Structure 1
Amino acid sequence: STRPREWPVPLVDGAGAGPLIWVNPVAEEKTVKNRMHLDVWGDPDRLVAMGATVIRARDHEIDWWVMADPEGNEFCVFPEPDAAA
């Protein structure tokens, strides 16, 4: 069956070592800067294809991308460990 959009989504570490994180959808618009954000490993191009936007690209000053999800929530993306070179 299809999961309703208003249901929370659990993020579970498949290895069982990390914390359980719940993402809870809300109806309210974002009005202020995030009080916290996630840092993840990933492919920024793939995330853009999924709806994210690049706020600041990786460059000579920072080794990560600052991105935002479609609702404007910011997160940092580090290159996959094997792709960092």
Structure 2
Amino acid sequence: MNEADALDIMQYAVWTVLVAAAPVVLVAMVVGIGIALVQALTQIQEITLTFVPKIVAIMLVVALSGPFVGSQISAFANVIFERVEHGF
């Protein structure tokens, strides 16, 4: 294995992490901004108010995007196993 192979694997690994984490991060960000907007408009500054909606939204997204995330990780593992099998 040379430097190009290592860089290719690292690039693919970073891309897989970004794609797999994107749905959860985006939903958490949108829900957080929405709650912050509601808190600013109503002047309710309760810290714990942000946790429950975020947790519920994140759990729903994890449940719904589980097959997509699993397929992305599986595709990455298959590429790595094929490279190991063929000697890079």
TM-score interval, normalised by the smaller of the two chains? under 0.3
Higher helix proportion, which one?
2
TM-score computed with the length of structure 2 as normaliser: 0.19
Instruction: Tell which structure's C-alpha radius of gyration is larger.
Output: 2
TM-score computed with the length of structure 1 as normaliser: 0.19
RCO greater where, 1 or 2, for CA within 8 Å and sep 6 or more? 2
